[in-house]
Copies of this chain bind each other. A is one copy, B any other.
Amino acid sequence: MTIKISIDCMGGDHGPSVTIPAAISFINREPDAELILVGLEDVIRAELKKHKAEAHPRLTVLHASEQITMDDPLEVALRRKKDSSMRVAIEQVKDGRTQASVSAGNTAALMAVSRYVLKTMAGVDRPAICSVLPNQKNGPTYMLDLGANVDCEPHHLHQFAIMGSVLVTAMEGIARPTIGLLNVGTEDIKGNEAVKLTAKLLQADHQRGALNFFGNVEGNDIFKGTTDIVVCDGFVGNVTLKSIEGLARFVKDVMTSEFKRNPLTMLGALIARGALKAISNRLNPSRYNGASLLGLRGLVFKSHGGADAYSFEWAIKRAYDAAKNDVLAHLSTMIADLMPREPVTQEVPSSTI
């Protein structure tokens, strides 16, 4: 079966100079994939030509005259730039021409445009952003929400857990992935009211065998790999993710400066460069690039803005795997099965990041 993916080629820090080589490399690796490359046609064709791929039968170029920048306010992304590469790429999913879309653009804009174009899945109150972090077990820890919802009610966190569980099953082939609820301690009495009530909802699911709820986890459990999934509200998730990224950058800068300090440390680094490369790969694995926007009526993946071609290719691969594993259908079924039937508490307006 052919898997078709639309790519916002203009997004991210580097645009087509990264997205096009990534698309070419990916298409040569996956014989049943087709890609629609969305953006300024001239620029995309020039980049394709540079890589001698202008005539590739499974690469289609789709012109979009505008592009959303990292600084564009949401109203510009939503109302003014109606022909943006991001929006046109997502519209391909809506119109059934592709099964997933990938962008390295502005996260808030991507979520807003995706919600607007694709709409939210039945049974889901709020879409969430789910990303993957490396852990000490050499596996992935899926974490959500990472910033789409800054004020969450227990039923929102509950839905995030369900969506995360379905995603991990589809993507990793784990039948009953473990779910951890991010908290300030592991005991039931710990945490704020929203988290305590969420734990009760998840415990009920666990008892009837619907979900595999591990219980509360703490910040360090993300990297221990205590559970397959870590659930939190978007405020906590966003701050945690950015803190982690900040520390990672700090570590990298300190290592670079200390190893460059004098000829002896430079020699040490040279001799141990294999180890240094391995350290960098284990801590910042490119294969985990590609966050899912979960809970929409279509698959959208977000690459890091600063991704290089190798890393962006992994985001395309994640979108491809999600489409191939039919994550969307699984989500619909599981959500219909798991969502509480009784009316939920009154909805609080969501703030977007």
Contacts and interface: CB of A to CB of B under 8 A. Distances in A.
A43 interface: no
Contacts of A221: 246
Secondary structure of the A contact surface, majority rule: helix
A204 B276 CA distance: 48
Contacts of A344: none
B248 A150 contact: no
A195 B150 CA distance: 10
B265 A246 contact: no
Nearest to A189: B351
A193 B276 CA distance: 43
A324 to B, nearest CB: 31
Interface pairs A-B: 5 shortest CB-CB: A268-B272, A219-B242, A220-B246, A219-B243, A268-B271
B275 A191 contact: no
Nearest to A133: B247
**Size band of the interface chain A makes with B:** 35 or more
Interface in A265-312: 265, 267-276, 278-279, 282-283
Interface in A99-114: 108
Most B Cβ at <10 Å: residue of A136, A183, A240: A240
A261 B278 CA distance: 10
A236 interface: yes
B353 A190 contact: yes
A234 B351 CA distance: 21
A204 to B, nearest CB: 22
Contacts of A249: 220, 223
Interface string A231-274: 01011101111111111111101110011010011011111111
A184 B238 contact: yes
A328 to B, nearest CB: 27
A182 interface: yes
B268 A275 contact: yes
A48 to B, nearest CB: 35
B265 A274 contact: yes
A154 interface: no
Contacts of A235: 184, 191-192, 195, 236
A199 to B, nearest CB: 14
A269 B185 CA distance: 37
A81 B253 CA distance: 47
A17 interface: no
